[in-house]
A and B are shown apart, each in its own frame.
Chain A
Amino acid sequence: MSSIRRKAFVVEDESLVLINLEDMLDQMGWSIIAQAMRLADAERLAASTELPDVAILDVNLGGVQVFPVAQILASRGVPILFATGYGREGLPPEWQSYPVIAKPYTQAEVERALGEVLALHP
């Protein structure tokens, strides 16, 4: 396995979905440097964690939206990948230019999306 693992920051409020994403990232050679399942934790970590290569953000966290977290990460220059059951139409206009993976996503879809994000932010 490569010694320079890419680093991801993950926000996802469903345990099962997060477990699945953890495994996918692990198999792709990524490590999760921080993860949060609730908005308050996500905001705190977004501001304090070491800079990841990408942030994968579930849009709906138990009824509240993840965008305050996205704002913090964007201001720190972190590339963002949204994950949502709503698809791109579910994003407000100011975030619609960001890459999106639609739930439920496959490992291949996550891999492709991460590749695109990294290509945009070399």
Chain B
Amino acid sequence: MAELDFARIFQALPSPFMILDRDLRYVAANPAYEAVVGTPFSALEGNNLFDLFPNEGEEGKRLRASFEHVLATGEPDTIAYINYPLVLPDGTVTNRYWTAVHVPLTGPDGTTAYVMQNTVDVTELVRMREATTLPYTSISAATRLIERTRETEAASAEFRRLFQQAPAFFAVLSGPSHVFTFTSDSYVRLIGGRNVVGQPIAKALPEVIEQGFVDVLDRVYREGHVHAAEGARVMLENEPGRPAEETFLDFSYNPIRDGAGNITGVFVQGMDRTEAVRATRRQRLLIDELNHRVKNTLATVQSIATQTLRNADDVGQARQSLEARIKALSNAHTMLSNRQWHDTEIGHLVCQELSAFGSEQVQYGGPVLVVNAKATVALALVLHELATNAVKHGALSVPEGSLAVNWHEDEDDQLVIEWVERNGPAPAGPARKGFGSRLLHMVITGELGGGLELDYANGLTARLAIPHAAYREGEAALV
């Protein structure tokens, strides 16, 4: 078995360790400890701890008493909680809370020659505990947990994990410049994965300054009230390197007080409501669109009813015409609905209207051509009027009559539909301009901006030419 190099292990430990002799002079310190006190070991070695980090207060006495206890008794000692500010090399003072474990080390003669200290920085736990002194009911359960945290390290890890992984977001800001000292996972996600701990909010999240949130934090810190907002619109860079995006948050800023009642920071908690707000907006848009379509359809049906009643000879015939027209409109809607209201095929539209007739009398065909929703409804109504007319007055009113419907796309990308009736009764010609004829003209030349040629010489021959833009140009997609 290879011999373990304890000196190297001591150096590599991620937790701060240092060793003092009986005069409380440094004899060893690992890099983790050097980092915490911001001082290289070369500047610590041989110096008395209290000379370098003087503390005449209560906490200093507790620390000294613990060292002396270990040196006198040879028993380890733990300080669960000690508030020990650090003076950093740049002269700034940072207030930190520690749990300190002091272990005796024996010299060659078996007596206690050194004391080794291991410290755990528990500042965040203390800040959270301060936060929970606030009148905020939703974290009262956490308050009790924090009380237990003081007794058991295991529970403290659990508590921190709860905050860390909570679906709500939490952050702790410390001091008058609102330096981040804790951020939960969901908070980090909210701010686009930015590592902000140790930075003042104005530097960490510069986009919130103009939006007034730093001013609000200043007031909370200064005046000690709670600031709460629901559905607040916040522009946040929630993806790295992307511009700020609209976010909707329910959140509160609560002042954090120390034991003496002084405000030491701000506790931030909240929920990201962006998805819910977007869903509500989407729903509003859909309801508006649905309302528009329903009202338009009702206006269409209203017109069909008025026109049918106006042009009918008797009530029984009017009822039949009305039912058939509304059915044609409804069939077009069904076809569109089956394709998410996008488009249909011209072949399906023709088939829908003519499939009731036998193939010996009616023939139709053409390439697969897709037509948009508006043209679908318009053409369904037109084809219905043409078919109705053929059955009543045209080629389909006699057994020997025939109808051929063919369609194609011409060299100008127009959809051309040719409706040819033959062997019908002697054509009456465009005698009176009935509803069907009026609708045909208006749909093809007006609504679809196309061309219409009608010839009654050998039975009705209708040539409908619809520009590409009118039947292919998609409607604005929903959502």
Contacts and interface: CB of A to CB of B under 8 A. Distances in A.
Nearest to A85: B295
A20 B447 contact: no
A23 B299 contact: no
A15 B378 contact: yes
B288 interface: yes
A93 interface: no
Contacts of B449: 37-38, 41
Contacts of A60: 292, 296
Interface stretch (B13-21, B87-95, B154-162, B437-445): B437-445
Contact of A37 (B310, B435, B447, B476): B447
B111 to A, nearest CB: 88
A17 interface: yes
A85 B442 contact: no
Interface string B291-310: 11111101111111011001
A37 B374 CA distance: 12
B153 interface: no
B374 A103 contact: no
A82 B212 CA distance: 41
A90 B447 contact: no
Contacts of B475: 62-63
Nearest to B325: A16
Interface string A14-40: 111111100100000000000101100
Contacts of B438: 19
Interface in A65-95: 84-86, 90
Contact of A17 (B292, B299, B435): B299
A16 B304 contact: yes
B24 interface: no
Q: Which of B310, B381, B446 has the most CB of A within 10 A?
A: B446
A15 B306 contact: no
Contact of B442 (A15, A63, A102): A15
The interface residues of chain B, by DSSP majority, are classed as helix
B378 to A, nearest CB: 6
Given A37-B446, A85-B299, A104-B302, A16 B381 contact: yes
A64 B469 CA distance: 14
B358 to A, nearest CB: 31
Contacts of A14: 296, 299-300, 447
A19 B447 CA distance: 11
A103 B476 contact: no
Interface string A38-64: 100100000000000000000010111
Contacts of B296: 14, 17, 60, 85, 103
Contacts of B306: 20, 23
A18 B438 CA distance: 11
A15 B446 contact: yes
Given A19-B307, A63-B475, A103 B298 contact: yes
A17 B300 CA distance: 6
A26 B264 CA distance: 79
Contacts of A37: 442, 446-447, 449
Given A15-B446, A38-B449, A20 B295 contact: no
B446 to A, nearest CB: 5
A85 B476 CA distance: 17
B291 A86 contact: yes
Nearest to B310: A23
B303 A19 contact: yes
B302 A13 contact: no
Contacts of A64: 476
Nearest to A13: B447
Contacts of B298: 103-104
A16 B300 contact: yes
Contacts of B439: 15-16, 19
Interface in B422-475: 435, 438-439, 442-443, 446-447, 449, 475
A18 B300 contact: no
A85 B303 contact: no
Given A18-B446, A37-B446, A104 B299 contact: yes
Nearest to A41: B449
Contacts of A86: 288, 291-292, 295
A90 B288 contact: yes
17 contacts: A14-B300, A15-B378, A15-B442, A15-B443, A18-B446, A19-B303, A20-B306, A23-B306, A37-B446, A62-B374, A85-B295, A86-B288, A86-B291, A103-B296, A103-B298, A104-B301, A105-B299
Given A14-B299, A19-B303, 5 more contacts: A15-B378, A16-B299, A19-B438, A19-B439, A86-B288
Interface of B: 288, 291-296, 298-304, 306-307, 310, 374, 378, 381, 435, 438-439, 442-443, 446-447, 449, 475-476
Interface of A: 13-20, 23, 35, 37-38, 41, 60, 62-64, 84-86, 90, 102-105
**Across the A-B interface, the 5 shortest Cβ-Cβ residue pairs:** A85-B295, A20-B303, A104-B299, A16-B303, A63-B476
